[in-house]
Amino acid sequence: MTRHRFRLVNVFAESPLSGNALCVFEYGRELSEEKMQALALQFNLSETTFVLPSNIATSRVRIFTPMFEMPFAGHPLLGSAHVVRALGHGGDSIRLETKAGVIPVTANGDVWTLQAKAPHMRPAETTRAQVAAMLGIELRDVETGFMWVDTGSEQLMVPLGSPDAVARCRPDPALLARDTSNNLGHSLAYVWARTGADTVLARFFFLKNGSVVEDPGTGSACANLGGWLIAMESRLPAVFHIRQGEHTGRRCRLGLRVDADKRIFVTGKVVEIGTGEVVLE
């Protein structure tokens, strides 16, 4: 019998039981890839991470959804950095090795900030009408400029004309599967609208077993929004405060900063709520 310690944390949290939940296994090198995937399905959170040794960074992190491994994801890296520091590695300045490269993460207390990779963009092949139908909203709700952006995880970024349009989204799973396949074959879309000069309301949808699931707080999409701002030649530096998760019952608050050098930073508070262990044969 082997015992595997884990910690439960909430990322982008305003209170202990808000934010996006994450399970972090402290010593992933003791687990096979198959067991990592099975444990991610067992916990059935948006993601589960596994901390491993690294020759090029403070630690290496592998990130699994219940269905597949991801090269990069925002809230898992912020939460994993919090655990790596708690294990006595790296202090407030940590570098995490991922399949998308090495990601710098820094802390101010329990508020963590990651620097995303430089973005890659490509046009969306779908039309405004197709995007509107896929989201279950009106054509007039969909702004121009929707595109694929990748700062480590490619996602369809869809600007909408109003917060009301964001709230009215009811994605069709068949159309989401048909119209939003990224470079890894996953169907997902990030929608947002400004609620003020520097505030945004956002939602993130993806498919799981043929059904649409909404993520409470999506750091990779927040980073991709920074890439979208760069692609649209928006005025820089730019700072945004993003509300997400209100339609899931898990309020999240994300910070986005794009500096004058086009570097993208994503910020969120991490709250640890528990520890435990899994016993496996």
Q: Which residues are catalytic?
A: 47
> DSSP letter string over 153-179?
S-EEEEEBS-HHHHHH----HHHHHHH
The span from the first CA to the last CA of the chain, in angstroms, equals: 4
Cis peptide before 159 (omega within 30 of 0): no
Contact at 8 Å (CB) between 193 and 159?
yes
Strand partners, 241: 199, 255
Q: Give the pairing of strands 101-108 and 93-98.
A: antiparallel
> DSSP letter string over 188-228?
EEEEEEESSSSEEEEEEEEEETTEEEEES--HHHHHHHHHH
User: Would you give the distance in Å from CA 90 to the centre of its chain?
Assistant: 23
Q: Give the pairing of strands 199-208 and 238-244.
A: parallel
Stretch (H or E) spanning 241:
strand 238-244
